[in-house]
A and B are shown apart, each in its own frame.
Chain A
């Protein structure tokens, strides 16, 4: 089966660092994506990992361990506008292109002053 788990909600303070974890069990794997989704809006791409290790993009970093079926998204220097839902998604293995995304439930992050 396909299963992607992430915490339902988290709260953090403006200026702090927060780590959102994601574990997955999928029949295929061709990359793990993190998306940000504000209420009522489309998911927007944040980061992508296909190999083990850390990918850094400004205030956002994402880590992947394929052997553990584990990823995390690290957000630094939190801002109020970072309050949103963070979606972990695994791309199904369909050769090297065009695979569907399997999404987790999303983690609702609230940033407090």
Chain B
């Protein structure tokens, strides 16, 4: 069964450092998303991406965040200067175009900022 894959599974970084989280969405999907989940809290939308551009972003997705689809298969989330409060599980998701379609989530990257 096709799946969304994310690397790395865990990332520890020092405050102020840049991190890049990587995702390979399901190959025929056209919509890509990043969500995050701070420990013990709800899953929160960060950004959606379609047709090589951001289609929507949340208030969380400030200038420190950026997304890119550098080639035909990868989808990345960059955090330029990490803060302690960026520590969370980051989930990539993708979906088919169409009405009755669900988003498929990757296994997540646990980011710890120290």
Contact with A along B9-53 (1 / 0, CB 8 A): 000000000000000000000110101000001111100101000
Interface range on chain B (Cβ under 8 Å from partner) = 20 to 34
A31 CA to B103 CA, complexed, in Å: 12
Report B-chain residues with C-beta under 8 Å of the C-beta of A35: 105
- A88-109 vs B: 1/0 string, CB under 8 Å? 0100101011101111111000
The contact of B33 among A44, A48, A100, by CB within 8 Å, is A100
Which chain A residues lie closer than 8 Å to B58 at the CB level? 100
B98 within 8 A of A: yes
- Please state if A97 and B99 are interface contacts (CB–CB under 8 Å): yes
A21, chain B: closest CB distance, angstroms: 16
Instruction: Verify if B68 is at the interface (C-beta below 8 Å from A).
Output: no
> Is B7 positioned at the interface, with any CB of A under 8 Å from its CB?
no
Contact B102 A87 (CB under 8 A): no
Tell me which of B42, B50, B95, B102 contacts A105 (CB under 8 A).
B42
Instruction: Using A104-B42, A105-B42 as known contacts, say yes or no to A45 and B102 having CB atoms under 8 A apart.
Output: yes
- B interface residues, Cβ below 8 angstroms from A: 30-31, 33, 35, 41-45, 48, 50, 55-56, 58, 89, 91, 95, 97-108, 110
Task: Pull 11 A–B residue pairs with CB atoms less than 8 Å apart, ordered by A.
Answer: A35-B105, A42-B106, A42-B107, A45-B103, A87-B42, A89-B43, A92-B56, A94-B56, A97-B95, A98-B95, A101-B33
